[in-house]
Amino acid sequence: MAAGGLRRKHKRQRLQQVLDAAEELFFRDGYEATRIETIADSASVAPATVYNYFATKPNLLMALAIRHVRTALPERRAYLADLPDDPLAAILGFERLLAEQAMRHLSRECWRVILSAQQMEPGARPSRTGARLNNLIRGHYVRLLTTYRDRGLLRRDIDLGHLADLIVGITTWDFSRFVATETGDIEDLLRMGVPHVRLILEGLMTEEGARLLAASTAEGDAPRAVGVAPDPVPA
Amino acid sequence: MAAGGLRRKHKRQRLQQVLDAAEELFFRDGYEATRIETIADSASVAPATVYNYFATKPNLLMALAIRHVRTALPERRAYLADLPDDPLAAILGFERLLAEQAMRHLSRECWRVILSAQQMEPGARPSRTGARLNNLIRGHYVRLLTTYRDRGLLRRDIDLGHLADLIVGITTWDFSRFVATETGDIEDLLRMGVPHVRLILEGLMTEEGARLLAASTAEGDAPRAVGVAPDPVPA
DNA sequence: AGATGAAACTCCAAAAATGGAGTTGACATT
DNA sequence: AATGTCAACTCCATTTTTGGAGTTTCATCT
């Protein structure tokens, strides 16, 4: 069957073992409370091997975050491929989806670590991979916004890159406030975000878009995200 | 959990992988037709690794045989713990059990190789492990015969070790004839063995035993073995 | 403040798997 | 009889994991 490349194959397997073990333990016992040695044991691997793969514990956590963002990608694509009429609803629905995905495998404590790692030591490895994550989301928003501009709801003179940055910025900020709490749920997060996003959008819509936005004001809450399936486990 | 001993643990795992792959392939494609390289691929292991574990292909096969004889041990013990009244029936029933166990995972071709390996090069490794197998069965027979002597059916002046050797010898011979064919089934094997065992026993019974033996002559065929459960897979 | 302890992380020698190239022996084909 | 092929087996340099003994850092207790 697979002739050579055993080295690489086993490496991938071990990496997944470590990530799986870490995910389980971070979720169950918390990030700080979980020791590298425990992860190694649980993954049937020597602690030194964990360090062969990940220089630091935060790095391991970032890798976990990236893996989740990767495996959940198809679900986000599906959402973006079938957007509602109302751009505000679209953005809030997307936020809900992102939040749900985020909560699916990583605890708030983990996200606190991830988000704070981006602040400190800009340029360090964890920070840069954090930037990659942000960039991925930014790309999604550019696509989303482009759709609505093409539908004639957003003014054509707007730089969608900048707008996407703005939205990612404020929603990330809201999300970091969200994970800073231990009690609030995703509905609270969205309630917090609605006025921000609305304020941003109000000035940037065409007349038709403004009509739609006004209409959606009456309706109240943000729409539910699309059906949330568990992540497909890659072979 | 399991702190150290990773080296040994992984070694055992790989060993099992190789044995599992070999078992599957030997059974499906035959012993000669299966290449070491294929086994290695199927076990996700380098060919050189297979040679780290087994010096030769026959050695690998012998290891497989030993593993089966080991895992099927409880079943044989259960049989020996609950023997019928008639010693002849007991021996034939045990033979049936052994044959069924033998056929369960290894093809006739494999057993031909194993049996012939014992002939050639006495003293070589495959031969010696074959002797270990024989010895294991011999032990079973000593236990079985002891039971009947204690029940007063076998004469007390008989050396049960020698008798066990004799029975193992003739039944192994019959078995080797059996696997030499491609068509006969286990019933044929037993039919072949009945007269041999009967002749051996006839001269060695007490009067009570002889009565029992005479009675069993009328009944005809050998009894079925105890219920045959699939091998328990060790953790 | 100083001691203690725990956990992240470093370092290195030894064990094992891997890849790859080469040898041998048996058997088939010409 | 020469040739070719195939698979068992050998050899060895390289990569990676492992065991184990450190070092460092930080928080807590005395």
Hey, where are the domains in chain A?
1-55, 57-219
The band of A121, judged by pLDDT with boundaries at 50, 70 and 90, is low
The band of B86, judged by pLDDT with boundaries at 50, 70 and 90, is very high
Contact flag A6-B42 (C-beta cutoff 8 Å): no
The band of A37, judged by pLDDT with boundaries at 50, 70 and 90, is very high
- Which residues of chain A make contact with B42, given a CB cutoff of 8 A? 1
C-alpha dist (Å) from residue B81 to B75, B140, B149: 10, 11, 15
In contact, A148 and A90? CB cutoff 8 Å = yes
The band of A231, judged by pLDDT with boundaries at 50, 70 and 90, is very low
Q: How far apart are CA A108 and CA A126, in angstroms?
A: 18
Q: Who wins on pLDDT, B122 or B96?
A: B96
pTM above 0.85, yes or no: no
Q: Who wins on pLDDT, A139 or B123?
A: A139
Closest among B62, B31, B228 to B133, alpha carbons compared: B62
Phi, psi of A168 (to 5 degrees): -60, -40
B41 closest CB neighbour out of A1, A10, A46: A1
Rounded mean pLDDT of chain A? Answer: 88
Whether residue A113 has pLDDT greater than 70: yes
pLDDT of residue B3: 56
Q: Could you tell me which chain B residue has the CA closest to the CA of A44? A: B6
Q: Which CATH architecture has domain A1-55?
A: Orthogonal Bundle (1.10)
**Which residues lie below 8 Å from residue A76, measured CB to CB, with a gap of 6+?**
A94, A97, A98, A101, A140
pLDDT of residue A1: 47
Q: At what angle do helices B108-119 and B160-180 cross, to 10 degrees?
A: 130
**Per-residue CB contacts under 7 A with strand D, chain B residues 15-44:** 34-37
Encode pLDDT of B179-207 as tens digits: 999 889 999 999 999 999 999 998 899 88
Q: How far apart are CA B27 and CA B114, in angstroms?
A: 14
Q: Which CATH architecture has domain B57-219?
A: Orthogonal Bundle (1.10)
> What is the distance in angstroms between the CA of the first residue and the CA of the last residue of chain A?
16
Whether residue B221 has pLDDT greater than 70: no
B41 closest CB neighbour out of A2, A45, A46: A2
A42 closest CB neighbour out of B1, B9, B46: B1
Whether residue B46 has pLDDT greater than 90: yes
- Which residues of chain A make contact with B41, given a CB cutoff of 8 A? 1-3
Closest among B38, B35, B98 to B72, alpha carbons compared: B98
Average pLDDT over residues B13-20: 98
Whether residue B156 has pLDDT greater than 90: yes
Contact flag B2-A41 (C-beta cutoff 8 Å): yes
In contact, B110 and B26? CB cutoff 8 Å = yes
Query: What percent of chain A shows pLDDT beyond 70?
Result: 88
pLDDT of residue A138: 96
Helix (H, G, I), strand (E, B) or coil at A165: helix
For residue B205, the 8-state DSSP code is B
The dihedral over CA atoms of B88, B91, B96, B100, expressed in degrees to the nearest 10, equals 170
Whether residue B48 has pLDDT greater than 50: yes
- Which residues of chain B make contact with A42, given a CB cutoff of 8 A? 1
Q: Who wins on pLDDT, A181 or B230?
A: A181
Average pLDDT over residues B72-93: 96
H-assigned helices in B3-56: 6-29, 36-42, 47-53
Average pLDDT over residues B136-142: 95
Q: How many CB pairs under 8 A join A and B?
A: 20
